[in-house]
Structures are given as structure tokens and as C-alpha cells.
Amino acid sequence: METLVQPVQNSMKPGKWLNSSCKMCIHSCITRVHVTEDGVVNKIEGNPTSPSNNGRLCPKGNAAILRHYDPARFRTPLRRTNPEKGPGVDPKWAPIGWDEALDLVGRELKRTLDEDPRKLLPAINDFQKLFLWAWPAALGNANYFSSVGNFCGGGYHPMNGFIHSAFAAANDVNYCNYWINNGGGDGFSSHLHTAAQANHVAKARIERNMRVVVVEPRLSIGAAKADEWVPIRPATDRQFALGLAHVLVAEKLHDVKFLKKDTNAPYLVGPDGYFVRNGEGRIYVWDAVDDCARLWDAPELKDVALEGTYVVEGKPCRPAFQKFKDILADCSPEQMEKLTTVPAATTRRIAREFAKAAQIGSFIEIDGRMLPLRPAAYNYYRGAQGHKYSAMANQAFKLVNFLVGAIDTPGGHVGVTLDDQMQDIRGGCGQIQPGENGMMQTMPHQLHPEVPFSWPPNETHLMGFFPIGVDPGHLTQHTLANAEKFGLDYQPDTLLMCHSNPLWNLPGDREQWYALLRSMRFIVAIDILPNESNEWADVILPSHDLLESWNMTMIEPPHHEGMCLRQPATPPLYDTKSEEEIFYGISERLGVLETWNGILNFVNGFHQKPELLLEPNRKYSDREIAERKGKLWNGKDLDWYIEHGHAVTPRRPDKWYRPWDGLRLHFYIEDIVRARDTLRQKMEAADVPFRHEWEWGDYQPLPTPVPDPVHLEPADFDLYAITFKDIQINFGESIGNPWINDIVFKDPVHTAVLLNPRTARERMLADGDVVRIESPYGAIVARLALSEGVHPDAVCVSNALSRVATQNTGVRHGGGNFNQLLPANLRHTDACSGQPETVARVKLTKLAAVPAEIAAGNSVFGPNGGQGRAH
């Protein structure tokens, strides 16, 4: 007789499966969570019913259980008892009750508000509860103390707003056959719904033989899988793209019909950079057949000219396309090679291959709609666009797609909305609106409405001076250090963090950040695990984790859309609360409950369905908010979502492909010129003293090949340091999770800093040497590993080596944070978009040994370095 044997595999044990979604990065892959009969979460898998992640999960998603059960979690509200604050200084937490904690936070924040609401620095970074970002608005505060958005996508998001009226962008994996990836891991290692995108891209690569060309200084995962790796000197990606554009135009490989019909490329541009308009503000084009100027929509217009020099209304002018062509005259692959090091022949070949693959002139019928088929697309992200002239870089990449007509079309480069329910909120993000003169309305602000200009500045990060960009939180260091110059008439003294680690993610000198934090009268942190920043807090408000809370979200799924449910798998393990409860608790104590509910109605779009509206003076649970968000999406209640888990479907082709059909796209971005001049007028009018120093050259309607200032650093900083994440440490904090540690610190690219062997030989450096990596702004220490997969000018620092958190002993310290090599100043910030430079010029100095303070404690250099945990 067979004896009954208990299963040993976790998913096979008696228990139940719950539908939920992941939150180990900012995206939301659909999961199923297995809970044993004893209520222990013992397996999380991808949900196969999701057409997005197809039942797949990345390593981080697979490691969520250990965040849930991490013994380092904050278990109750905590109050600091050690008055001394500093990096690595034990706050000596004392547990307190929720009422006491919220009263304390309420009292301190009330004091701040009573003195000056601007004195609060908020750092609210929960991407799956984006509505929380709007909480400071309830206090009349628009400060922002973090760089999560702008570090990776300061120029990226506004440019997507300009070009696609969308938050993000992706190459259309459904039809693309030639995929250029420049400085981004999309489809391989990072960015949009990594597991999902890797799944779809792998299918395209293998089943459709999609060719992949990866342009990067490092042989990344994407480069390793690519058909071709094009190594490039860091911070020269824009010049590479302009080299491609040069070839496409010079060899007449571009999509003339698309440019003429679907873009403003034929619009005539005057010497002032504005389109040439008639008295009624309508824009001229040049009729190439009748050889005369006509209004863009004149019925008698025969064929518009893309090239040439004309005089209209007494102004010399050229079509926008000609303006770009003029710029491209100085962008031959041979000229660009001097900066990029990419052989001109390679650039020319890729341009030709790209144009050929784009099949200009071809069409495809989808859902009864004839659409241009352009199965070639240029995708990029952080590494390519994270530079001083970021707006220009972004536009250069977009223009390569423009030239072959591969914008928002099957197989091309397509805008990805953040959240399709957002019809007319956050400035209209997600909705296409007609603008003037037949053009689509640009939507550069994708996260919140424009912050009005003010002088003296209301915001420490000068958001009012960035009518286009993403919040440049890093500038707070620069402005507070030079408060007089920047006219700050108040000194912030309160910091509120929510799932944010600014000391980790902000560029700039650490000591200055430490000084800033020391100057805070009160710091409160809403978080799950100890990190670099919340060890400075006076009060910790512990939140539920992803296995204990409700939510409904949809964050930039590239090829899919629809709400994803998160539901509790277990009751809270500890005395924690949801973020909703916490912010309601604070709002109530500050007397802003009604305002907060009003804001929540607005940012969540509840006003679109009045029955979902939150009542002004009630507090709502995470469950209630989640239910409303689900209902807003598809009218289904929470029970439906609990049963189905999600409402994810492939993106509707009518919203995915050419949702702007009939409008013209912005090949030439006049709005950037207008934003510059409007800002200049405001600064003149207010007599802003630093207006002459403002980087006015950053605002360009078309990209130029001018080198980023990082190339102009002193010559003895002879190498370029870059940092990278891979799929195991994608997005937020990952190190410290034992399973992630177990795979990351065994992966050779994450255990040491990578250098090309030839470069090392020239500098008498060897594998395993300990070096100081020094930039003009800061220094870190690292051990070298030599790799042939590194551009000879690059020093590649894994983000796994960037952590220095001390209160969480699972977090291994690298030799310092890469970000301290970077400047946090205006000179290296794109005035147009707020993007800080993310590449550092560095020199390497060999050290005899790892400095004792760096090797101490829980360091990757310690006795246990990189092998298992240090306890």
C-alpha cells in the first residue's frame, strides 16, 4: 500500500493560489501567489493568463518572498532616540504606536506648513501608486527631492511627450525586423516590464529572425544577444545617431512621403527659429510645383518642398527638413567617428541596412486599417540619453526613426502611454489632442502639470524654470549650497520620503547631501526596509509590502494595457499600514483631507465616472482605492479582478498605431524654442540674476552634434565611467535580498569594475587590482576585472556595487556610490529637460590595498566578499 507522502516542492503543497501582480520593480508583471494552509507564502509565479508576461517572471519577481519575510523589515512605527545623525550611524530606533507616530509626524509637518509649506522636501517614489506623488500638492508644495525620474529619463519622457504624446516608447516587437538598441536594455535586461519584453523580443529574434544591433560602451546582455555589438565611446550616442541620419538623408534613403504628409518637416522655419506664419498665425510651406509659398493646408497646394532656401513674408526661411539637412552636413560618419570611435563604414552600413529593413512604401492591414509597415526601429534609453544635451540626444534618436517613417507604425518606434485611463489628467497624458496648424499637441509634461515659474523660486530644484522637463531633484544640492545666488528665500527643514532612497539615487557630492540632511529639523520615511536614506529619519512609518496590500496599476506595459490587481496574500506580518492609510492619517492631522481627496479624484481620473468619486471628508483604504481604479478601467468590481487577476490585453491597434492619424508630428520642435523664449522673458522680467548663466544653448528645435560638456573635462581624467544595471538588479533596491545576492555576486560583471585589457595594460593595471576611480566631483574605490567586452575608454561600474546602506546587514557595500562621481549642477544639467549627465570623466589610481574603512563590515571587499552573506 502506498503511503501518503507530503509534497516537498513548494507549489505542490496544500494551499491556495491568489492572483496578484509584482512590485519588485516599478512595473507590474502579473503573478499568482501560492499560500500554504498555514498561511505562509511559498511560491510566486508569473500568471500564464497574462498576454504580457506570459507566465514569466524575472529574477527579482522570483525573489519577492524574501522581501516579504526579510527580518530587517520595519515592524512597527519607530522613533529615533539617537540625536546624532550620519551615514552608518545607528538611529537607535524605539518602537512607538501608530497614533503616537502619526501624531508626531502630523505635529512636525504642521509646524512646517505653518512656517512655510515650501520648507518640505518630499521624495515620494512609489511608481505603482503614482497618485501618492501628488500628495505634496495638497500642501501647496511642488518641491521634489529625488532623481528617480529624471536620472534615467529626464529628456526621454518629455521627448516622448513631444513626439508621441506618450510617457515612454518602445520598438514594436510585433513586426520589427531590425532593432537598434542604444544604451537601453529594453527586451533584454531592463526597462519596460523586463520579463514580458524579454519574452516578446526573444520570440521576434528566434522565430522571426529579427536582427538586433546594440550600440553601447559595454557588451551588455542585449549586446551579447545581438547580431552585432557596436561599441561606442560613452556620451557620444547622439553623434552616432546623427551619423546615421546623415547617411539616410545624403543617400536619399528617407521616407519622403511620411515626412511631407505626417510631420512638420516641410513647414518653413524663419531665422528666429519659429515657423513662418501669416498674420493669422498660420504656417507656410513651399509649393515645389508652383514654386511659391502656400499655407500648409491650402487646397491648391500641389507638392511641398522638403529642401531649399526661400523668402516668405520678407523672411529668409527653409523647410524644417532643410534645417536638419544643414545640421547633418557636419555629421558625416567620418566626422562623427572622431568622437564616437564607431568606424564610419559601420555607421554607413547600419544606416543602409536600417533603411532597407524599413521597407519604405510598404503597408499592412490591421483591423481593417491600412497602415505603413516600417519593420525597423531605433530604441534607446538611459545610457544613450542620460547626458547634458539630453533633449537633443532624444530627438536625434527619434529623428532616425522619423527619417524612415517608423514612428507609431507597425514595426516601428511607438509611444507607450503610462496609463491609458488618464484621459485628460496630468496635462492630457495618454490622449492625443490636436494642436495648432495641423500638428499634434505636444505633451512634454507626462507626470504632472507644469509648475509655474516663480521668482524667488518656490522650488528648491527650480522646477518652475523647467517648463519642459522632469523634476531635476539633484539641483537641490546646487541651489541650497548657493541659496543667495538662486534667490531661495526659505531654507527647507523637513523631509518626507516614501519608498524613496535619494541618498542612493541622487548624483552629486555625498558630503553635501549629508550636510543637507543634517540640516533637516524633521525627517519621516515611509518604507519597508532600512536603506541609505531612511537611516537619517526621525520617524519611520512602516508600510505593507507587495504581499500584504491592495493596489490596481498599469505602468508602461509596452505592448499591452489594462489594470493589474495586487491583493494581500497574507495579513500584514507586522504592525504596518498601507500607503493610503498613512497619507490619509497624516492628511487628517494636517487638516487637508478634503484637498487630498480632491487631488486623488483628479489624478486617478475618478471624476470621469462620478460614481467613483471619493467623498471629501472620508478616509479610504488601499482596497477601496484599488477597487475604484479597476472599475474605472473596465467597470468590473474587485471580485472580478480577484477571480481574473488582471484586465491585461494587447494594446488596441487604434491607440497603439498612429493614434494621431490626420495630425502632423513634430519633426521640428518649435515648442522648445518657444519654451526657451518664454522662460527668458520671465527671467528678464523678474530680473533673475543668474539668467545670463542659464544654459540657453540647451534648447534646440533640432539636434546638433555639439559634444556634451563631459568631453571637455580636464584631460587627465582620461576615461569615462558609466554605470549599469542588469535584469537581476533592475530599477529599485535589490541587493540585500538573499536570492538576488546569491546570483548577483556570482556574476562576474557585478563583482568588480570592468575595464578593457588594453586600457589596463597601458596604465600598468592588472586584473584584481584595487583602484581609486576619481572624477572632478568625487571618488570611489573598486576592484578591477578586465573584460574584452568593454570599450577601451570606458570604466563600467555595476550598480550592484553602489550601495552603502548600513542598517540593513544584507546589503553589501561596494566601494562607494557611482553617483558621487557625478556633478549635481546646472552646467551638467540639460536646461531643456532637467536631465543630469550620467557619465563621469575619471582617472584610475592603483591602490596598494582596499582602504580599511571600505573593506570593513559588510563590504564586497570584506573577508566574505561576494561569496554568500556576511554575518
Partner 1 sequence: MIASKPIPDGSFRVGVGRQKAWGVQMATAFFFGEAGAGLYFVAQFFDFMSGMVVGLLLVLFGKAGGHALHLGQPLRGWRALTKVRTSWVSRGLAAILLFVVTGALHILDTGLHVLPAVLSPLVAALALAACFVIMVYQGFAMSHSTAITLWSGGLMPVASLTYALLNGVLLTLVLGFDEPFLAQGPETVRLLQVAAVALMLYGLVTVSSLLHGARHASEAGRESVAMLLHGGFARWFVPLVIGAGFVVSALTMLVAPPAFAWMLAVAGLELTGYYAFRVLMFKAGGYDPALSFAYRFRH
Partner 2 sequence: MAKWGMVFDLRRCIGCNACAVACKQENSLPDGVFFTKTLSEEVGEYPDVRRTYVPTICNHCEDAPCESACPTGATSTRPDGIVMVDRDKCIGCGTCIVACPYDQRTRLEPEMLNEGLFGGGRLTPFEEQGIGRFTVGTVVKCTFCHERVDAGQLPACVATCPTEARIFGDLDDPHSRPRQLIRERHGRQPLPEKNTNPRVFYID
Q: Which of residues 173-202 bind partner 2 (CB under 8 A)?
A: 188-189, 194-196, 198-199, 201-202
Reduced to 3 states, what is the DSSP secondary structure of residue 85? coil
Of 63, 121, 360, 565, the one binding partner 2 (CB under 8 A) is: 63
- For 638, the enclosing helix (H) or strand (E) is helix 638-644
User: Residue 198 Cβ, how far from partner 2 at the closest point, in Å?
Assistant: 4
Q: Is 9 in the site for partner 2 (CB under 8 A)?
A: yes
Q: Which of partner 2, partner 1, none is residue 2 near (CB under 5 to 8 Å by kind)? A: none
Q: Is 857 in the site for partner 1 (CB under 8 A)?
A: no
User: Residue 513 Cβ, how far from partner 1 at the closest point, in Å?
Assistant: 33
Beta carbons of 419 and 270 less than 8 angstroms apart: no
Which CB atom, from 683 or from 719, has the smaller least distance to partner 2? 719
Which CB atom, from 798 or from 835, has the smaller least distance to partner 2? 798
Site for partner 2 in 216-245 (CB under 8 A): 219, 221, 223-225, 229, 231
Q: Is 726 in the site for partner 2 (CB under 8 A)?
A: yes
Which CB atom, from 257 or from 758, has the smaller least distance to partner 1? 758
Of 278, 309, 681, 867, the one binding partner 1 (CB under 8 A) is: 867
Site for partner 1 in 568-597 (CB under 8 A): none
Pairing of strands 494-498, 120-124: parallel
Q: Is the peptide bond before 792 cis (omega within 30 degrees of 0)?
A: no
Region of 157-165, 295-303, 495-503, 782-790 interacting with partner 1 (CB under 8 A): 782-790
| Beta-bridge partners for 179 | 212, 377
Which CB atom, from 14 or from 279, has the smaller least distance to partner 2? 14
Reduced to 3 states, what is the DSSP secondary structure of residue 659? coil
Site for partner 2 in 746-775 (CB under 8 A): 746-749, 756-758
Of 123, 754, 765, 805, the one binding partner 1 (CB under 8 A) is: 754
Q: Is 339 in the site for partner 1 (CB under 8 A)?
A: no
User: Residue 266 Cβ, how far from partner 1 at the closest point, in Å?
Assistant: 51
Q: Is 749 in the site for partner 1 (CB under 8 A)?
A: yes
Q: Is 494 in the site for partner 1 (CB under 8 A)?
A: no
Contacts 24+ apart (CB under 8 A), 851-858: 851/781, 854/781, 854/813, 854/815, 854/816, 857/806, 857/813, 858/806, 858/809, 858/811, 858/812, 858/813
Three-point CA angle 447, 452, 456, nearest 5°: 130
Phi, psi of 260 (to 5 degrees): -75, -40
Which CB atom, from 57 or from 317, has the smaller least distance to partner 2? 57
Q: Is 661 in the site for partner 1 (CB under 8 A)?
A: no
Q: Which of partner 1, partner 2, none is residue 466 near (CB under 5 to 8 Å by kind)? A: none
Three-point CA angle 256, 260, 262, nearest 5°: 110
The number of beta carbons lying within 10 Å of the beta carbon of residue 766 is 12
Q: Which of partner 1, partner 2, none is residue 786 near (CB under 5 to 8 Å by kind)? A: partner 1
Q: Is 757 in the site for partner 1 (CB under 8 A)?
A: yes
User: Residue 767 Cβ, how far from partner 1 at the closest point, in Å?
Assistant: 5
Print the SS3 string covering 486-531.
CCCCCCCCEEEEECCCHHHHCCCCHHHHHHHHHCCCEEEEEECCCC
Which CB atom, from 51 or from 789, has the smaller least distance to partner 1? 789
Beta carbons of 820 and 263 less than 8 angstroms apart: no
Q: Which of 719, 725, 745, 733 is nearest to 842 (CA)?
A: 719
User: Residue 56 Cβ, how far from partner 2 at the closest point, in Å?
Assistant: 4
- For 394, the enclosing helix (H) or strand (E) is helix 390-403
Indicate the residue type of 327.
I
Which CB atom, from 26 or from 752, has the smaller least distance to partner 1? 752
Which CB atom, from 555 or from 740, has the smaller least distance to partner 1? 740
Which CB atom, from 219 or from 373, has the smaller least distance to partner 1? 219
Three-point CA angle 828, 725, 33, nearest 5°: 135
Measured CA to CA, the distance from residue 101 to residue 90 in angstroms comes to 19
Number of residues that bind partner 1 (CB under 8 A): 15
Q: Is 344 in the site for partner 2 (CB under 8 A)?
A: no
Q: Give how far Cα 719 sits from Cα of 8, 218, 707, 730, 797, Å.
A: 52, 14, 16, 25, 13
Q: Which of 556, 210, 557, 238 is nearest to 380 (CA)?
A: 238
Number of residues that bind partner 2 (CB under 8 A): 79
Q: Is 785 in the site for partner 1 (CB under 8 A)?
A: yes
Dihedral (CA of 540, 544, 550, 551) sign: positive
Three-point CA angle 622, 624, 630, nearest 5°: 100
Beta carbons of 589 and 110 less than 8 angstroms apart: yes
| Beta-bridge partners for 19 | 32
The number of beta carbons lying within 10 Å of the beta carbon of residue 4 is 5
Q: Is 743 in the site for partner 2 (CB under 8 A)?
A: yes
Torsion over CA of 64, 65, 69 and 72, rounded to 10 degrees? Answer: -30
Measured CA to CA, the distance from residue 669 to residue 387 in angstroms comes to 19
Of 27, 56, 478, 841, the one binding partner 2 (CB under 8 A) is: 56
Site for partner 2 in 808-847 (CB under 8 A): 809-810
Q: Is 653 in the site for partner 1 (CB under 8 A)?
A: no
Of 18, 25, 57, 539, the one binding partner 2 (CB under 8 A) is: 57
Q: Which of partner 2, partner 1, none is residue 634 near (CB under 5 to 8 Å by kind)? A: none
Which CB atom, from 134 or from 223, has the smaller least distance to partner 2? 223
Region of 42-50, 108-116, 417-425, 813-821 interacting with partner 2 (CB under 8 A): 42-50
Which CB atom, from 207 or from 788, has the smaller least distance to partner 1? 788
Q: Is 789 in the site for partner 1 (CB under 8 A)?
A: yes
Binding-site ranges for partner 1 (CB under 8 A): 743, 746-749, 751, 754, 757, 767, 785-789, 867
